[in-house]
């Protein structure tokens, strides 16, 4: 049985003082029935990984370069993330796609780099509000999935996060019918490409304004295997009930 995944994306938030939140999470969930991943800013990965080394909590990066090393000022490579103690990396988050002009082709290159370094690639995709209103959601999702996901994806090396851009940090969420439509579509499209067994092994997360108050409803939705949580992952008091809702 595949384990569900509660993933937290701290984005550009957090200093050493925030590490106490990880301590609180590990204390509250010493033996969780789901996987828990926190992606702090890169400056905290070494400390976060050391602090959680004896716990089931996993630490991830928020992005990586597609090359293992080289003249790329300000960038971080996948082997560096692994060396710092990360076991996963978010790729293609809409804030990266939008603010850094990341294309799905580049996301695929980064995913290959992540796999080579032994990291799980959490590949993010999702439509904008304009695309949803133009009834383009499934076309956008199909193109992003097909292009961002390299050949060789498995349930171990890949997680897919569906994050409608208009739901991220806005307090808006799609209806559960809308979430189910996209997640069912993603599962079917993965099955066409990888076969049913491999497609079923890949966890499909929903992300976008997940809170303790809406977690139960979202987690009961078809083909939702967990969540990628931004704002509500910053405080253990908010993230802990989301983890519990998934268990």
Residues labelled catalytic: 93, 163
Closest by Cα among 111, 110, 68 to 202: 111
Closest by Cα among 155, 109, 105, 145 to 124: 145
- Tokens 């909590």 correspond to 57
N-terminal to C-terminal alpha carbon distance within the chain: 13
SS3 (DSSP) at 210: coil
Residue 171: left (phi > 0), alpha (psi -120 to 50), or beta? left
Rounded CA-CA distance 245/147 in Å is 33
- Is 9 annotated in some ligand binding site? yes
Identity of the residue, 128 or 200, whose beta carbon is nearer to ligand PEP in the bound complex: 128
In whole angstroms, the minimum distance from the beta carbon of 239 to ligand PEP comes to 10
- Is 11 annotated in some ligand binding site? yes
In whole angstroms, the minimum distance from the beta carbon of 190 to ligand PEP comes to 21
Identity of the residue, 88 or 228, whose beta carbon is nearer to ligand PEP in the bound complex: 228
Which residues contribute to the site for ligand PEP (CB under 6 A)? 9, 163, 168-169, 207-210, 228-232
∠36-69-145 over CA atoms, to 5°?
50
Identity of the residue, 165 or 199, whose beta carbon is nearer to ligand PEP in the bound complex: 165
Q: At what angle do helices 212-219 and 176-194 cross, to 10 degrees?
A: 50
In whole angstroms, the minimum distance from the beta carbon of 50 to ligand PEP comes to 25
Enter the tokens of residue 198: 């491999």
- Is 157 annotated in some ligand binding site? no
- Is 230 annotated in some ligand binding site? yes
In whole angstroms, the minimum distance from the beta carbon of 208 to ligand PEP comes to 5
Identity of the residue, 38 or 229, whose beta carbon is nearer to ligand PEP in the bound complex: 229
Binding residues for substrate: 9-11, 169, 209, 230-231
């Amino acid at each position: 049985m595949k384990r569900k995944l509660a993933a937290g994306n701290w984005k550009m938030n957090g200093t050493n003082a925030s590490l106490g939140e990880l301590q609180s999470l590990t204390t509250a969930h010493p033996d969780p029935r789901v996987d828990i991943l926190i992606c702090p800013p890169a400056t905290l990965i070494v400390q976060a990984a050391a602090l959680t080394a004896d716990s089931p909590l996993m630490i991830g990066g928020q992005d990586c370069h597609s090359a293992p090393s080289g003249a790329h000022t300000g960038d971080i490579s996948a082997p560096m993330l692994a060396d710092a103690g990360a076991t996963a990396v978010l790729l293609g988050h809409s804030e990266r796609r939008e603010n850094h002009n990341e294309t799905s082709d580049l996301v695929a290159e980064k995913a290959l780099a992540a796999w080579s370094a032994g990291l799980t690639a959490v590949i993010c995709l999702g439509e904008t509000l304009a695309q949803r209103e133009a009834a383009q959601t499934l076309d956008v999702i199909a193109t992003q999935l097909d292009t961002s996901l390299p050949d060789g994806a498995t349930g171990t090396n890949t997680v897919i996060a569906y994050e409608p851009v208009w739901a991220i940090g806005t307090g808006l969420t799609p209806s559960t019918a809308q979430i189910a439509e996209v997640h069912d579509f993603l599962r079917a499209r993965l099955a066409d490409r990888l076969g049913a067994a491999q497609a079923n092994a890949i966890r499909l997360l929903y992300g976008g304004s997940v809170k303790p108050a809406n977690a139960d409803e979202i987690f009961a939705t078809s083909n939702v295997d967990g969540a990628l949580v931004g704002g509500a992952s910053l405080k253990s008091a908010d993230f802990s009930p989301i983890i519990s809702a998934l268990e």
